[in-house]
Copies of this chain bind each other. A is one copy, B any other.
């Protein structure tokens, strides 16, 4: 499809990618995102398409595990943060977006959802809700493109159960959904036991992509595969589970799960009435995935020395069509659209070599080239960005080839 047409017009690609070109720079130069201020990013159409793809994966797995999507307001009454004990005076850095202290911009939704659910009967449980909305932090050190920003898209999920056992079952259920999400995204990840920190509760795991640029330090056991956060366990000589040899790796946090217990339900008086008429505070869990952060995290982990290299799961389009003849490119792109495959073509330049280099830098999973041989022999070339494999094909068979590769 031709959304490339108006997009491509606005952004000029880099010269050849230098080895030290940052991923953030690649994302900006190729028109995925645009920095509007310190820690504030506009998501341009290509970046937003990737974000929508990530949202789609998240929604599918969370709906399948029985959670229901809603959207809480982004302005919070500070009274409920005062009741939970998270409103300091002066407010903590996360909370400084205020209008005479009458409203906060929410950095996270535990207080809101707990207030919304309130007092329920055991018959109404279990409950599980999630949202995918903008969250706000007064981030003092924005960095890494979308990795650390003042506002970001986050998926936050909250479970409500009658008993601790119920909450643990919910925890296992959402953990499984999170594994499904990260497996479908297709970037290698590890799960690490983590600190609950200011969230409360006593059970917590983080999902990490392993990357040199990651800010978290993880102890990985080469024997049993256990992962621990240095922050949680300190520097160890050997694995605390099996005694095996440890290596230290860096991680980018992309998801976090917490068993909260009654940390919020107790002060906010959200309780369950049991079948015997007595009542107790609800047992809660909360679960988050950094959706916009994932755009940068996936880009960081997947890229190579040639540029970006998007996994097929989230790529803004599966195919980039390259031809000196733009009307041919449009035709091929239309044919792909009719077969259900999203593609783009670059109408900025008739230079084949330049267009090929840019397509590689932008990281489209497949590049379909109608090059010099096309006019003579009708030969098309299909390049696989990740493997570098090149397959020759024809006008008659490229659709079948791509349907087989992309949709199967």
Contact = CB atoms under 8 A, between A and B. Distances in A.
Interface of A: 3, 6-7, 9-10, 34, 36-37, 40-45, 47-48, 51, 63, 66, 68-77, 96-99, 103, 105, 112, 115-117, 120, 123-124, 126-129, 134, 138, 150-151
A199 B3 CA distance: 29
From A51, A75, A98, A103, residue with most partner B Cβ within 10 Å: A75
A74 B106 CA distance: 13
Contacts of A150: 75
Contacts of A41: 73
B127 A9 contact: yes
Given A10-B127, A99-B96, A127-B9, A45 B69 contact: yes
29 contacts: A6-B68, A6-B128, A9-B120, A36-B72, A36-B73, A36-B76, A36-B112, A37-B77, A40-B73, A40-B75, A40-B103, A41-B73, A42-B73, A42-B112, A42-B116, A43-B71, A44-B70, A45-B68, A45-B69, A45-B129, A47-B70, A48-B69, A48-B71, A51-B71, A74-B151, A96-B99, A97-B97, A97-B99, A98-B99
B68 A134 contact: no
Contacts of A128: 6
B127 A6 contact: yes
Nearest to A125: B9
A308 to B, nearest CB: 18
Given A37-B77, A42-B116, A116-B34, A123 B71 contact: no
Nearest to A347: B123
Nearest to A138: B99
> How many copies of this kind of chain does the complex include?
2
B37 A75 contact: yes
Given A134-B134, A138-B99, A10 B48 contact: no
Contacts of A129: 45
Contact of A71 (B42, B117, B126): B42
Nearest to A72: B42
Contacts of A3: 63, 68
A48 B73 contact: no
Contacts of A68: 3, 6-7, 45
A98 B100 CA distance: 10
Given A47-B70, A99-B138, 18 more contacts: A3-B63, A6-B66, A6-B126, A10-B120, A36-B72, A36-B112, A36-B115, A37-B103, A40-B73, A42-B71, A42-B73, A42-B112, A43-B70, A48-B69, A74-B134, A75-B150, A97-B103, A134-B134
Contacts of A115: 36
A276 to B, nearest CB: 20
A53 to B, nearest CB: 13
Contacts of A40: 73, 75, 103
Contacts of A96: 99
Given A9-B124, A10-B117, A36-B112, A45 B70 contact: yes
A128 B45 CA distance: 11
A26 to B, nearest CB: 18
A179 to B, nearest CB: 22
A7 B10 CA distance: 45
Given A44-B70, A69-B45, A73-B41, A36 B127 contact: no
A45 to B, nearest CB: 4
